[in-house]
Amino acid sequence: MKSLITVIGLTLASTIVVAADSSATAAYVGNADQGKSKSVTCAGCHGADGNSAVADYPKLSGQHATYLQSTLKAYRDGSRANAIMAGFAAALSDEDIADLAAYFSAQTPSTGAVEADLVARGQQLYRFGDSAKGISACAACHGPTGAGVASAVFPSLKGQWAAYSETQLKAYRDGQRQHVMMNGVAKNMSDADIKAVASYVGGLQ
């Protein structure tokens, strides 16, 4: 009897330890103040508030924390390949990533602009896609205003530098950036389609 109680006691104890461990991992919520101090390293390229000054560096301001976390982890584990970001992400713990994501997601994105002669084609692709070419409507996932969906990890696109979005769409098309949904969306897009829709989302507010 005594040994049976000991066994039950041990089982209970280990169950409690396991439960406490997994809740500690899941429960960490990013802290924006911590993120702000950790973001000093990022500011030179992405801007202090995540509004980068030039199109070489994507804007991070107002981006969903869910997406910022998932893409920083992808740079860290190499599933998203970029030499510069691989170096920065390698130095980040899960907690750093959560703090940085909390900080940048809380910043206000600066507005961008659309090139007037690209609006018509860009808007058509964004809202309706092109069924003849097999291109899905962007709005179905990224939302009518380009705000994305945090819970589904659909990134916000609005106000992003057109040149950055263009590079990413080409990387999805050519398979340099792997993501099953976006590889499928981009595979039938021409350079002109990509340029138009990248410009269009840059002008969304």
Cβ closest to ligand HEC, residue 120 vs residue 181: 181
Cβ closest to ligand HEC, residue 8 vs residue 159: 159
| CA distance linking residue 186 with residue 174, whole number of Å | 9
Q: Positive or negative CA dihedral for 30, 144, 112, 45? A: positive
Structure tokens at 185: 């969306």
Return the closest-CA partner of residue 91 out of 80, 101, 81, 76.
76
Regarding 168 and contact with ligand HEC (CB under 6 A), the answer is yes
Return the closest-CA partner of residue 72 out of 94, 50, 53.
94
CA 173 distance to own-chain centroid: 18
Cβ closest to ligand HEC, residue 82 vs residue 123: 82
Regarding 110 and contact with ligand HEC (CB under 6 A), the answer is no
Task: Compute the least distance from the CB of residue 117 to ligand HEC, in Å.
Answer: 18
Binding span for ligand HEC by CB under 6 A among 5-13, 14-22, 109-117, 164-172: 164-172
Q: Which of 102, 138, 162, 204 binds ligand HEC (CB under 6 A)?
A: 138
Q: For the CA atoms of the chain, what is the radius of gyration? A: 21
Binding span for ligand HEC by CB under 6 A among 4-12, 23-31, 109-117, 161-169: 161-169
Regarding 150 and contact with ligand HEC (CB under 6 A), the answer is no
Structure tokens at 51: 């509004």
CB 125 within 8 Å of CB 200? yes
Regarding 142 and contact with ligand HEC (CB under 6 A), the answer is yes
Number of Cβ within a 10 Å radius of residue 89: 20
Residues 10-39 within binding reach of ligand HEC (CB under 6 A): none
Regarding 73 and contact with ligand HEC (CB under 6 A), the answer is no
Cβ closest to ligand HEC, residue 6 vs residue 205: 205
Q: Which of 102, 135, 162, 196 binds ligand HEC (CB under 6 A)?
A: 135
Separation in Å, CA 162 to CA 9, 94, 103, 124, 146: 61, 30, 24, 17, 13
Q: Please report, as ranges, the residues that interact with ligand HEC according to CB under 6 A.
A: 41-42, 44-46, 56-58, 60, 63, 68, 70-72, 82, 84-85, 88, 100, 125, 135-136, 138, 140-142, 153-155, 157, 165, 168-169, 179, 181-182, 185, 197
